[in-house]
Structure 1
């Protein structure tokens, strides 16, 4: 056993099985929020390193072993998250945990065969949540390819609202325009455009802008609205809104499989370049409407022969971050393609952000956000709970959608009369499926969901917005 629990832990008792990239991403976020965590892994070096780094308990062993789980305190645990690289081991971990303790169980399942049976597995095995980083990554990539001028698109209110992240180009209509003036322009159109500027990053600094904030070329801006309004806003500022017609994917792993299936159903032509011949044969059967090329996607000649110069989008999905980065830089130099890069490690984000990579997706972060949202909802004993959570701008801010199930100090009171915390914005209210971008006269009501953007972390309840 490694590590110690210095200081009083006020959060949940959580066991994380597997100290790979996903496990560490979850550990980092939950440890920062003060939970009582025990990690389990077969690798003594990993356990010792992460137990000391994050001040948690660490146990070397098989997480599916009954005695190992007992040593980790499964009897008193609130949650066990099994996120090893083996789907079968993760299922077994959760099954044993349910027999020994009375805790929530989360299993990482990557295999497409298991994903198809997700509902059955949840019901029959009593799994609280099944997470599939590869599938969630594919969904995020497909959103961006549907609106390729965006850097990132996050979905809220069951798809009714979106947060779209863009970079303001030189000589754009937004350059040197204040938020207030932009609001007047959009309101005075024949068909007003309802959009809210939720966050801006400029030269490494993060802002939740007020009306007098002046936008500049080079700013990275996140705006919130319904999907139709987001597209109208993009058109208004001169961004193309047509989805790509074709894409070239390098790497034929699970993310590529999930992504290609979604894209061909959207009418987008897909070409996958994969070096492993056996995998190419499998993909040819699984994806009959996609073009599968057996070749080295990191070879310049192969890329040229397969039409890099003409492709509208280029997605690098190999298992090696450095390869993905170099492929994207090459594609940006030799084509006009929309580029998307998969990065597995998140510890060099500052360096990655300084590169001109276009859109970047982090599967580990996507997974961690899902689990953090669940943990916060479970920690909160009230009926208000977290529907959706996204970390923004390298975790310097959070966008959280709360469900409001009961009356409280924040309901039925005009927003202008609420004593809100600083650096906090109420971005939208979802009322019966209609998205409201609130003014000071509007109020949050029971039955709504409300999305906030804040620079504080750890919110578990809508009442946390109050100072």
Structure 2
């Protein structure tokens, strides 16, 4: 599919190259032509000088046939304005905007524009490494009611199956991180020593689930 990216900094250029490697067509917009050097000599997509909220620039980038738009420039206002123009004028609903101000990010999430709040993301990553109990989410839905959590699991669960863990805690285990790689477990998959367990849990049950999995299974 065709993806348009506004901003050719480190994030935008990396995103563009990654998408192209996956077989997608890509157009990159930036106000500074020199920024396109970050794409490298092998980049085969379009490069367009301008801003992502300019109608003519967007048309030149192929927005009419685009199935996705990412606004990842260094300016919050430009990113949000571009995302709104693309969605409201050109009808592209698969949009995401990078926002530095976490307060603004929450507002635009409620308006239906997915955002990546850089400061909030960084602080969450640090907290996840400081708090061994895993109380900071890997992902939270925009309403704040469901989260994907890397959860601390008591060693007593080693040798139990994912089915047993799910039944005991009433959660879903979408994946396990094992020996440097993520795996999608079967119900019969056995939890091993050193595994990192990721669970999908309702926010209201967070403390309960952490208490269940943080303790040894009942009967031991």
- TM-score using structure 1 length: 0.37
Residue 393 (1) aligns with residue 141 (2): yes
**Which of residues 291, 299, 302 is equivalent to 2:57?**
302
- Higher relative CO (Cα under 8 Å, sequence separation at least 6) belongs to 2
Distance 1:356 1:285, change over 3 A: same
Map 1:360-439 → 2, pairs under 5 A: 360-377=115-132, 389-393=137-141, 397-402=146-151, 406-407=155-156, 412=160, 414-415=164-165, 418=168, 420=169, 425-428=171-174, 430=176, 433=183, 435-437=185-187
* SS in structure 2 at match of 1:319: coil
Distance 1:279 1:460, change over 3 A: farther
The answer to whether the 8 Å contact 2:53/2:82 transfers is yes
Considering fraction of residues, name the structure with more helix: 2
The answer to whether the 8 Å contact 2:149/2:198 transfers is yes
The count of corresponding residues between Structure 1 and Structure 2 is 205
Q: Deviation of residue 316 (structure 1)?
A: 1.2
Query: Which structure has the bigger radius of gyration?
Result: 1
Residue 315 (1) aligns with residue 64 (2): no
Residue 356 (1) aligns with residue 112 (2): yes
Structure 1 residues not aligned, in runs of 5+: 1-244, 381-385
Query: In the alignment, which residue of structure 2 is the partner of 1:333?
Result: 88
Query: In the alignment, which residue of structure 2 is the partner of 1:160?
Result: none
Distance 1:340 1:368, change over 3 A: same
RMSD across aligned C-alpha pairs, in angstroms?
A: 3.8
CA distance in 2, matches of 1:376, 1:302: 46
Query: In the alignment, which residue of structure 2 is the partner of 1:151?
Result: none
* SS in structure 1 at match of 2:43: coil
The answer to whether the 8 Å contact 1:311/1:335 transfers is no
Q: Deviation of residue 274 (structure 1)?
A: 0.8
**Which of residues 199, 214, 217 is equivalent to 1:463?**
214
- TM-score using structure 2 length: 0.72
**Which of residues 248, 254, 257 is equivalent to 2:10?**
254
Q: Deviation of residue 405 (structure 1)?
A: 7.9
